[in-house]
Amino acid sequence: ESEVPSFIASNVSQYSCQRKTTLNNHNKKFTDAFEIMAENYEFKENEVFCLEFLRAASVLKFLPFPVTRMKDIQGLPCMGVQVRDLIEEIIEDGESSRARDVLNDERYKSFKQFTSVFGVGVKTSEKWYRMGLRTLEEVKALKTLKLSKMQKAGFLYYEDLVSCVSKAEADAVSLIVKKAVCTFRPDALVTITGGFRRGKKIGHDIDFLITSPGPREDAELLHKGLLLYCDIIESTFVKEQLPSRQVDAMDNFQKCFAILKLYQPRAENNSDNTSKNFDVAEVKDWKAIRVDLVITPFEQYAYALVGWTGSRQFGRDLRRYATHEKKMILDNHALYDRRKKVFLKAGSEEEIFAHLGLDYVEPWERNA
Ligand code: TTP
Ligand code: MN
Ligand code: MN
Ligand code: MN
Q: In CATH, what number is assigned to the domain containing residue 244?
A: 3.30.460.10
**Domain end call among 240, 265, 298:** 298
| Minimum CA distance residue for ligand 1 atom 20 | 308
Whether 205 is a known active-site residue: answer yes
Confidence of residue 65 (pLDDT cuts 50, 70, 90): very high
- Please report whether residue 33 resides in a domain: yes
Q: Which residues line ligand 1 (CB under 6 A)?
A: 194-195, 200, 203-205, 207, 249-251, 307-308, 310-312, 315, 332
Task: From the CA of 257, give the closest atom in ligand 1.
Answer: 28
Asked if pLDDT for residue 237 goes beyond 70, the answer is no
Whether 317 is a known active-site residue: answer no
pLDDT score, position 6? 78
| Minimum CA distance residue for ligand 1 atom 15 | 308
| DSSP letter, residue 220 | G
Residues 249 and 202 in one domain: yes
| Minimum CA distance residue for ligand 1 atom 13 | 194
- Please report whether residue 306 resides in a domain: no
205 is in an annotated binding site: yes
pLDDT score, position 228? 64
For residues 129-146, average pLDDT: 97
- Please report whether residue 150 resides in a domain: yes
Residues 63 and 141 in one domain: no
- Please report whether residue 303 resides in a domain: no
**Domain end call among 271, 298, 325:** 298
- Please report whether residue 266 resides in a domain: yes
| Minimum CA distance residue for ligand 1 atom 4 | 194
pLDDT score, position 264? 85
184-226 pLDDT tens trace: 788 899 999 999 999 999 999 999 999 988 765 555 555 444 5
| Minimum CA distance residue for ligand 1 atom 19 | 312
- Please report whether residue 291 resides in a domain: yes
What strands lie across the sheet with 328-330, from one edge to the other? 328-330, 335-337, 342-343
Whether 331 is a known active-site residue: answer no
- Half-sphere exposure (Cβ direction) of 251: Cα atoms closer than 13 Å: 25
337 is in an annotated binding site: no
Asked if pLDDT for residue 285 goes beyond 80, the answer is yes
Residues 13 and 131 in one domain: no
Percent of the chain with pLDDT over 90: 75
**Domain end call among 58, 73, 102:** 102
- Please report whether residue 79 resides in a domain: yes
Residues 118 and 81 in one domain: no
Asked if pLDDT for residue 172 goes beyond 70, the answer is yes
CA of 270 to the centre of ligand 3 (A): 34
For residues 56-81, average pLDDT: 98
The lowest-confidence range among 21-25, 131-135, 136-140, 187-191 is 187-191
Q: In CATH, what number is assigned to the domain containing residue 136?
A: 1.10.150.20
Residues 146 and 69 in one domain: no
Confidence of residue 305 (pLDDT cuts 50, 70, 90): very high
- Please report whether residue 2 resides in a domain: no
Q: In CATH, what number is assigned to the domain containing residue 24?
A: 1.10.150.110
What residues contact residue 127 under an 8 Å CB cut-off, 6+ apart? none
The residue among 275 and 154 whose pLDDT is bigger is: 154
Confidence of residue 3 (pLDDT cuts 50, 70, 90): low
pLDDT score, position 235? 65
pLDDT score, position 269? 53
CA of 367 to the centre of ligand 1 (A): 12
Catalytic-role residue among 160, 207, 251, 317: 207
pLDDT, the chain, mean: 90
For residues 159-168, average pLDDT: 97
pLDDT score, position 181? 85
What residues contact residue 240 under an 8 Å CB cut-off, 6+ apart? none
Q: What is the C-alpha separation between 92 and 197, in angstroms, rounded?
A: 37
| Ligand index nearest the alpha carbon of residue 255 | 1
CA of 267 to the centre of ligand 1 (A): 31
Residues 26 and 82 in one domain: yes
Residues 91 and 121 in one domain: no
Residues 152 and 81 in one domain: no
Neighbours of ion ligand 2 (CB under 5 A): 24, 64
| Ligand index nearest the alpha carbon of residue 24 | 2
Residues 216 and 232 in one domain: yes
ipTM for the predicted complex:
0.95
Residues 361 and 346 in one domain: yes
309-357 pLDDT tens trace: 999 999 999 999 999 999 999 999 999 999 999 999 999 999 999 999 9
Per the structure, the complete domain to which residue 79 belongs is given by: 9-102
Residues 81 and 172 in one domain: no
Residues 287 and 327 in one domain: no
pLDDT score, position 221? 58
Catalytic-role residue among 160, 205, 251, 331: 205
Query: Per the structure, how many domains does the chain have?
Result: 4
H helix runs in the chain, sequence order: 28-43, 47-62, 81-93, 97-104, 106-114, 122-130, 136-141, 149-156, 158-162, 167-184, 194-197, 301-309, 312-326, 349-355
CA of 210 to the centre of ligand 4 (A): 14
The lowest-confidence range among 114-118, 269-273, 314-318 is 269-273
